[in-house]
């Protein structure tokens, strides 16, 4: 009797694509492959080329804050639907979808924390939530961040990563720029520092309002920072832009940003700055 030969199971194309999904990640900078766990442990910075990938809000808390703890302020605020906006889905549907995807209620977290033992007021944009867009709730939370810091006489550290104003709220979104800047100006009267940390990307209404108004403006390497993206500007002006335009390095050279700092050295720098500037 002859036994049938054993053959390895065959996989169709869709099955092949899913093998290892979520276990490995290819670096966007050098194309090297690492385990997701290794990149997570290194705060999403490539060990090979130091390319900075998107870091979650939880990751930033783990990186910067003592014990990774943020005592959240105003976490229950949610947006309305003032324009009854729809683009195939209603605005409330888009919000619910973003909340599920980002595991967050809105695009900004604010609260009290400790950094190197020093009490601070922290704000952090969550780019995973609708591109970190600033609507009425995000603008209100940034305003309250500066107002609470003023009341408690705390220094402010604000981590910014945003695509700009949220189109689903129209002019109400744009109004947040002036409101937040007004609160920042009142905050400056107490003499505590505002340290602005510009992440990739920081654009649109956020860049055009409070992002560059820090006592110290710090950026991550190669972050895209500016009002409109280079492609939009080139199409509007119909001319080529300088190499590296709107990247962190270009902005440092032109005096818009004070320093470029690796994410892995960010906490040490913030501790130093707060030690010199905070009262």
Q: Is 233 exposed, middle or buried (0-12, 13-18, 19+ CB in 10 A)?
A: middle
Q: What mean pLDDT value characterizes the chain?
A: 92
Is-contact 219 201, C-beta < 8 A? no
Judge whether 10 lies within some domain.
no
Residues 158 and 32 grouped into a single domain:
no
Q: What is the pLDDT of residues 51-72, one digit of tens each?
A: 999 999 899 999 999 999 999 9
Give the DSSP H/E element, type plus range, for residue 52.
none
Alpha-helical (H) ranges within the chain are: 13-18, 36-41, 57-64, 91-102, 136-152, 170-187, 204-207, 230-237, 248-253, 266-277
Residues 63 and 29 grouped into a single domain:
no
Q: What is the pLDDT of residues 142-189, one digit of tens each?
A: 999 999 999 999 999 999 999 999 999 999 999 999 999 999 999 999
Judge whether 158 lies within some domain.
yes
Residues 263 and 238 grouped into a single domain:
yes
Structure confidence at residue 17 (pLDDT) = 53
Residues 126 and 222 grouped into a single domain:
yes
pLDDT band at 7 (very low <50, low <70, confident <90, very high): low
Return the CA Rg of the chain. Answer: 21
Residues 100 and 144 grouped into a single domain:
yes
Residues 62 and 109 grouped into a single domain:
yes
Residues 30 and 73 grouped into a single domain:
no
Domain that residue 104 falls in:
55-277
Q: Is 156 exposed, middle or buried (0-12, 13-18, 19+ CB in 10 A)?
A: buried
């Amino acid at each position: 009797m002859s036994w049938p030969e054993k053959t390895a199971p065959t996989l169709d194309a869709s099955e092949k694509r899913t093998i290892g999904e979520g276990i490995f990640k290819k670096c966007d900078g050098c194309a090297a492959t690492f385990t997701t766990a290794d990149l997570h442990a290194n705060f999403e910075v490539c060990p090979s080329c130091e390319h900075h990938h998107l870091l979650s809000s939880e990751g930033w808390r783990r990186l910067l804050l003592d014990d990774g703890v943020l005592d959240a302020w105003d976490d229950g605020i949610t947006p309305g639907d003032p324009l009854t906006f729809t683009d195939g889905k209603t605005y409330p549907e888009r919000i619910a979808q973003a909340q599920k995807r980002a595991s967050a209620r809105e695009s900004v977290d604010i609260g009290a924390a400790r950094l190197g033992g020093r009490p601070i007021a922290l704000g952090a944009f969550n780019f995973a939530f609708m591109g970190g867009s600033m609507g009425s709730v995000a603008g209100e939370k940034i305003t309250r961040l500066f107002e609470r810091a003023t009341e408690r006489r705390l220094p402010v550290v604000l981590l910014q990563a945003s695509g700009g104003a949220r189109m689903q709220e129209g002019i109400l979104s744009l109004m947040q720029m002036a409101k937040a800047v007004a609160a920042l100006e009142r905050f400056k009267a107490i003499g505590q520092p505002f340290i602005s940390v510009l992440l990739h990307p920081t654009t649109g209404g956020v860049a055009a309002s409070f992002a560059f108004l820090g006592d110290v403006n710090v950026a991550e390497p190669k972050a895209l920072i500016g009002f409109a993206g280079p492609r939009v500007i080139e199409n509007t002006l119909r001319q080529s832009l300088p190499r590296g335009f709107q990247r962190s390095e270009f902005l440092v050279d032109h005096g818009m940003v004070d320093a470029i700092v690796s994410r892995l050295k960010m906490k040490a720098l913030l501790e130093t700055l707060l030690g010199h500037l905070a009262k």
